[in-house]
Structure 1
């Protein structure tokens, strides 16, 4: 496919997403099934265009003066990819499979459209209803942080310390041109191509051997901030596919006991193969569904040294990776997540022993899901739980990280501008002895 034909396809996919209000991945999959002539490179390039369009949907529509898939694509090429007007005009030439030529209005907007007077929700490409919460967190840094959330995320991997160290991994993976991550001691950053795509890491021999996992540096740091120690009993309460379970096992050197579970047993499916590949040791407890459902952790109540709660959340901290998610986010979605967080935190409070700790993690930037969720837990368990000072959490888990995070009322907040990572939040809560 020509670059122009790929643009036409991306506009078609954006129109499908807007009309049917569904995830971009589903729309792209359906487009690929309906256009089997498109090779893998074409599909990847179209996906990159679509995701970049979603990243800059509001600001691109603003400078073009209309909110249509075509206008978003034209505006994105200028704002996100830095193409000059003549170059964009050459792509929209009306030839076979190419988009129709630019109209006079489009040429004028492309040349003169500006974000100078755009409100923060437009200039920062974010839903306007979340801005009061984000303003409270970021203050004067609101717009820089929003714009950083609109950029492409880096491609990070975590070296499996159970099998080799980072220096050895740098040598083994030299063909990928990796660089050490700025903060995570076992992380490597893999450069992306001009189209925003990285190499197919999941087919590399080193991946198959379990020498690394694909994991954002922020997620790696959140696991380190858990402070998990060899010999402890640790429950990963919302383990999902097991990314943090594997990180805990490496941090604890496979010395101790890790129990991983998740309320949704389907999310646990990948964890078994990942454990086998990595050599990490963990006990998986899969809950039953339906009438036979039972609490698979009941025997552990009051005995666990550390409970990791990687809580279900809105994912506002991952907008760099999932730009379509921000446009599908609704206030009732936030309310549902806050309710789910309360339930899982209450369950963690039952599991932890006197003197033990709950490590509460989200990939959210919204205080409602972070500090407010912790404050609500403290209120419900009045006198039974206390928050560990954030400076202590950093000192115990990643002291060098201190200048690159925000210390909130109850936790540590990472962000794209300050930390260069997704927006992870970590709070440490201790049960009274």
Structure 2
């Protein structure tokens, strides 16, 4: 009889243990690791912070960048939007050090959070900071600058203290600070981030995940509205239609990919693809109308890639496509230019809805640079 009770107690204990494990797993919090990186140093730190966040199984890390980039190391990392920030249990911010301050791209992203700030959307949310610096000069000044911006939001600032100091290799310069981990990127006596800096970043992430989990039980102010009421989300449309933006073509001369004056952005592009001009030549002489329409769509995607860069990766800031002109490489007697132009017009309306409806003109040319079948000239009004 005693043995039966003993086995019952063991079974009950095992059941409670497994139930608690399932409960803990089902209550994982989601933490955003938000970064900007130039050469990849901050991105490497972001990955280590994310590993630390997930190391004890209490949190899931989501790595996102604040600006589009052509750097192959992280060009495929998802782009963050301001509107999603308040949905996380905590945010770990990473940036290069720019003259004792945060990077321009990170500063511009934070400048777009005034709507969330006015709605108290980040109050009480934990935040931590990590950075990549050059020699280390100005890094703590930059950290404090970062903290100032986050303090305005009422975020709970989580410092790193002297965590991990005991295990550091003290024979080489390291990026440890009490405010958060840094990497001394320009000191190449060892690969950077160093193993010590990587370990500090993992420990910072590990501690931050525990803080984020603990603060989930604290009641938070309900966010009435995000920065912008999203009636139409171009990124949702692009995802549903499996549309991705290409790498921005490099200028072929002494000019800029775009020019902004006031709230208008001017962009000209031609049919440059990954391997050169798409369907080069003259319509109905070298290429078919269908091929030119395909090239026109590629050209329009190039325009949108440049526009995204001009808007720091946030195409939802487009208020209207104002005007488009299509120039087609065509024989003298060709008259079907409008049919070819529809490939660009249809794509813009497909992605932007009513905001994509624009004025336009089309014309033919005896030649186009690079023997491109099409060139597009566009004007967008933006926030």
Instruction: Looking at secondary structure, tell me which structure has more strand per residue.
Output: 2
- Structure with greater proportional helix content: 1
Find the structure with the greater CA-based Rg. 2
- TM-score w.r.t. the length of structure 1 is 0.28
Answer 1 or 2: higher relative contact order, Cα 8 Å, separation at least 6: 2
TM-score by length of 2: 0.30
